[in-house]
Amino acid sequence: MTDRTITIIPIDEINFPILEYIGKCLETTFDLETTIMTRQEIASHIPEPVYGGRYNSTNILKFMADRIPGSAFKLLAVTTLDLYSPIFSCFFGEAQLGGTCALVSLHRLKQEFYDLPPDQETFLARCEKEAIHEIAHTFGLLHCSNKHCIMYPSNNIIDTDVKSNTFCPDCTCLLKI
C-alpha cells in the first residue's frame, strides 16, 4: 500500500511557518497528511535564469520529478525563484497533470512585488490557493471557467485574489483522490 502523503520540499530558504501553513491547507482540502522535507539545493542543477532573472519552471519540475522521495504520494516543491515557462512569461506554478509533482513560486505572491505594503494575510491566502490549485492538477483536474473556483487559471495576481480557496461543484465532482 502506498503512503498517501503530500511531501512539501522547499528549494530555497523559506520560513518554516509558511511551509506549515501550506501543509495545513493541503491537509484540510485533500484530507491527506503532509510532511515537510529539508531544503533541497538545486541551483547547480538547473540552467541559469533568463528573461530578467526568471527560471524555467518545467526544468525545475523535471529535476524534482527525478528525485521524488520513495515515500511521496504527491510532491509540492516550493520556491522563491521567479518562474516562467515556454508558454507563459511569468506565473505562479506548474504541475504534472495526473502526475506526482507540482511546483509553486512565492515570488509574485507577495504584495511587495507589486510595490505595495506587506500584507501577510493576503500573501498566505495566495500561497494557499496556488498550492491547492497545483496539487489538484496532480489529481487530474484541469482549469475551470468559473472565476471563483480554485481551478480557475491565474493569469495575473488579480485572478488569484478573486478566486476562492475551494472547488466549484463541478470540480468537486471531478476530483478523485
Say how many C-beta atoms besides its own lie within 10 A of residue 44's C-beta. Answer: 5
> Does the annotation mark 134 as catalytic?
yes
- State the Cα–Cα distance between residues 177 and 2, nearest whole angstrom: 13
Helix residue ranges per DSSP H, 108-162: 120-138, 157-162
Q: Which is the catalytic residue, given 94, 128, 130, 134? A: 134
C-alpha cell belonging to residue 59? 526544468
Q: Answer yes or no: are the C-beta atoms of 129 and 165 closer than 8 Å.
A: yes
- State the Cα–Cα distance between residues 146 and 168, nearest whole angstrom: 7
- State the Cα–Cα distance between residues 69 and 155, nearest whole angstrom: 31
Of the CA atoms within 13 Å of residue 156, those in its CB half-sphere come to 2
Which residues does the annotation mark as catalytic?
Answer: 134
